[in-house]
């Protein structure tokens, strides 16, 4: 999940950088290219990396709880 989130973020950021490099004036810039510092650090749920990290954390916790349940209450 973390690799998928990083790959999606990398492709999106590469597209933004390519468009910023080809801008000839300030009027060529789009408003969605401007990010707040928290968004730039990936601290919002609009970031794919953050979404995938939350998904990985949930999957890890479900795995730990399931493993613990099997260990304590499994067949035996």
User: What's the confidence (pLDDT) of residue 67?
Assistant: 92
User: What's the confidence (pLDDT) of residue 76?
Assistant: 56
- Predicted model pTM: 0.59
User: What's the confidence (pLDDT) of residue 65?
Assistant: 94
Mean pLDDT on 5-32: 82
User: What's the confidence (pLDDT) of residue 24?
Assistant: 82
Quote the number of domains for the chain. 1
Which of 34, 51, 33, 55 is closest to 42 using CA atoms? 51
- Tell me the C-alpha distance between 32 and 3, whole Å: 24
User: What's the confidence (pLDDT) of residue 66?
Assistant: 93
Length of the chain in terms of residues written: 76
For residues 66 and 59, is the Cβ–Cβ distance under 8 A? no
pLDDT at 40 over 80: no
Q: Which residues contact 49 (CB under 8 A, 6 or more apart)?
A: 2, 5, 6, 8, 9, 42
- Greater pLDDT, 41 or 66: 66
* Domain range for 52: 2-73
Which of 9, 53, 55 is closest to 35 using CA atoms? 9
């Amino acid at each position: 999940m973390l690799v998928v989130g990083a790959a999606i973020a990398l492709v999106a950021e590469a597209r933004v950088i390519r468009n910023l490099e080809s801008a000839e004036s300030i009027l060529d810039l789009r408003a969605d290219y401007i990010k707040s510092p928290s968004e730039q650090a990936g601290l919002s749920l609009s970031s794919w990396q953050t979404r995938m990290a939350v998904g990985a954390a949930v999957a890890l916790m479900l795995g730990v709880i399931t493993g613990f349940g099997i260990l304590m209450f499994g067949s035996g």
